[in-house]
Chains A and B, each alone.
Chain A
Amino acid sequence: MQKHWWKLVGVVALYYTIFRGFTGEIPQLPILEESIRNLYFHVPMWFGMLLLLLASTVYSIKYLGKNNPEHDIIASELAYTGIFFGILGICTGMIWAKNTWGTWWTNDPKLNSAAIGMLMYFAYAILRDAIDDSEKKARISAVYNIFAFPVFVVLIFVLPRLTASLHPGNGGNPGFNQYDLDNNMRLIFYPAVMGWTILGIWIANLRIRIKKVEKIINEN
């Protein structure tokens, strides 16, 4: 139990998020209306993705330092889980955009940056498949991962702030916390961030363990 308590925390946090997220009190705001509940899904998923991708980059750096194959497995699986969360974030974001801006996708810098960022990590996945030798695959993909992450950060955090953007928190638009994230919502938002992040780490953890077992089976 000492080893697995965090999973329990994640499950409880997610149940709480889903239950309270759909039934809890929300501020009545024009345009946003009920769609503000997406704050508990869309935003934490992106937080989770960023954390997973950051961790993946850290493990890639570790791999280049120590050449430990285990670090490569961790880095790649964290990146794949990050991609999965990114796709979830884009899908929830599209639903939100349809309900508030009236369209699934607009030519908005934040949205386009997110899409380009995903392309970068898809390219990472393809690069890994294109190299046969496992040591070389680990080394080259670690280099690309480290090369891509700072560009991803510039894409997501710097560029949308330079131009006009519809997305909250960019181009002069206030973020949610300024006037509409009231204390009632905070009580659900923070557990949501925790829950989704833990879920991401859990998925990555399972995948890493599967990969390790596969590696042992292949070697014998």
Chain B
Amino acid sequence: MSLGKEVKVLLRKELLTEWRQRYAINGMLLYVVSSVFVAFLSFHVVNPSSWNALFWIIMLFTSVSAVAKSFIGESKGRMLYYYTIASPQGVMLAKMIYNTLLMLALSILCLSVYCMLIGNLVTNIWAFALAAALGSMGMAGCFTMVSAIASKANNSHVLMPILSFPVILPLLLVTIRVSKKAIDGLDFSTFMMDFMVIFFINFIITALAYILFPFIWKD
């Protein structure tokens, strides 16, 4: 089977299993809404900087818990089954694409609930949306890979944040800076460089995950 077709089949399977056991996705949606609500209750007056930081912290924790389950939750038997029928690259790409879709959906939800409760401070909404989309994609890719690494160790739920936070920080810092510029309503031309950096980091992470995953998944 060609890689493209394999990824398509595996992606379909991911979406199907998610649809069949809706508690996982519903749990994630509730997680986002309740963390935004906690933030809303604990902050009363928010200036643009804290608005931005708070949004990204919620996104960070949401994505860690949403993406962590991609490998950590998989049973041993199912991994063994993949091993016999699919290529590692196919499995990795399918999981990454699936997690990217999941993260995009979660970020849209998070942003709308956040704007509704705490208020919308963003001036350049398209730039902010683009930053949020690129940031979510990067987080999805990075956390998918780290979740594959952590799933092989004992106590993987503790390892997941330890391993992933330092790795995601460069991306997160640039994303936070871009979104701050978008909040302040700066022109697109001022953050082209930052978008390039985000793109570059995303590319490195995805490429490394693609190359390194075959070494992780065998047991």
CB distance from A47 to the nearest CB of B (A): 21
Residues in A whose Cβ lies below 8 Å from that of B216: 139-140, 143
30 contacts between A and B (CB under 8 A): A64-B212, A113-B170, A120-B166, A120-B167, A123-B162, A126-B159, A126-B162, A127-B150, A127-B153, A130-B155, A131-B152, A132-B154, A136-B219, A139-B216, A140-B216, A142-B215, A143-B212, A144-B163, A146-B208, A147-B145, A148-B167, A150-B208, A151-B166, A151-B205, A155-B169, A155-B170, A158-B170, A159-B170, A159-B173, A162-B194
Q: Does B165 contact A (CB under 8 A)?
A: yes
Q: Does A93 contact B (CB under 8 A)?
A: no
CB-CB nearest in chain A for B194: A162
**In the bound complex, CA of A143 to CA of B218 (Å):** 13
Residues in B whose Cβ lies below 8 Å from that of A155: 169-170
CB distance from B4 to the nearest CB of A (A): 25
Q: Does B15 contact A (CB under 8 A)?
A: no
Residues in B whose Cβ lies below 8 Å from that of A143: 149, 212, 215-216
**In the bound complex, CA of A159 to CA of B170 (Å):** 7
Q: Does A10 contact B (CB under 8 A)?
A: no
Contact A117 B166 (CB under 8 A): yes
Q: Does A154 contact B (CB under 8 A)?
A: yes
Residues in B whose Cβ lies below 8 Å from that of A147: 145-146, 149, 167, 208-209, 212
Q: Does A119 contact B (CB under 8 A)?
A: yes
**In the bound complex, CA of A123 to CA of B163 (Å):** 6
Q: A136 with B152: in contact, given A116-B166, A119-B166, A154-B201 (CB under 8 Å)? A: yes
Residues in B whose Cβ lies below 8 Å from that of A142: 215
Residues in A whose Cβ lies below 8 Å from that of B205: 151
**In the bound complex, CA of A136 to CA of B152 (Å):** 8
A residues within 8 Å of B by Cβ? 64, 113, 116-117, 119-120, 123, 126-127, 130-132, 136, 139-140, 142-144, 146-148, 150-151, 154-155, 158-159, 162-163
CB-CB nearest in chain B for A64: B215
Q: Does B101 contact A (CB under 8 A)?
A: no
Which 6 residue pairs of A and B lie closest in terms of their CB atoms, listed nearest first? Answer: A120-B166, A130-B153, A119-B166, A123-B162, A143-B212, A131-B153
Residues in A whose Cβ lies below 8 Å from that of B166: 116-117, 119-120, 123, 148, 151
CB distance from B189 to the nearest CB of A (A): 16
Contact A162 B208 (CB under 8 A): no
B residues within 8 Å of A by Cβ? 145-146, 149-150, 152-155, 159, 162-163, 165-167, 169-170, 173-174, 177, 193-194, 197, 201, 204-205, 208-209, 212, 215-216, 219
Residues in A whose Cβ lies below 8 Å from that of B150: 127
CB distance from A108 to the nearest CB of B (A): 13
Contact A146 B212 (CB under 8 A): yes
Contact B159 A130 (CB under 8 A): yes
CB distance from A18 to the nearest CB of B (A): 33
Q: A144 with B219: in contact, given A117-B166, A155-B170 (CB under 8 Å)? A: no
Contact B169 A127 (CB under 8 A): no
**In the bound complex, CA of A66 to CA of B212 (Å):** 14
**In the bound complex, CA of A130 to CA of B151 (Å):** 11
Residues in B whose Cβ lies below 8 Å from that of A139: 215-216
Contact A154 B170 (CB under 8 A): yes
Q: A127 with B193: in contact, given A119-B165, A136-B152, A155-B169 (CB under 8 Å)? A: no
Contact A150 B204 (CB under 8 A): yes
CB-CB nearest in chain A for B177: A163
Q: A131 with B154: in contact, given A139-B216, A143-B149 (CB under 8 Å)? A: yes
**In the bound complex, CA of A184 to CA of B194 (Å):** 40
CB distance from B92 to the nearest CB of A (A): 12
CB-CB nearest in chain B for A140: B152
CB-CB nearest in chain B for A144: B149
Contact A151 B167 (CB under 8 A): yes
Residues in A whose Cβ lies below 8 Å from that of B201: 151, 154
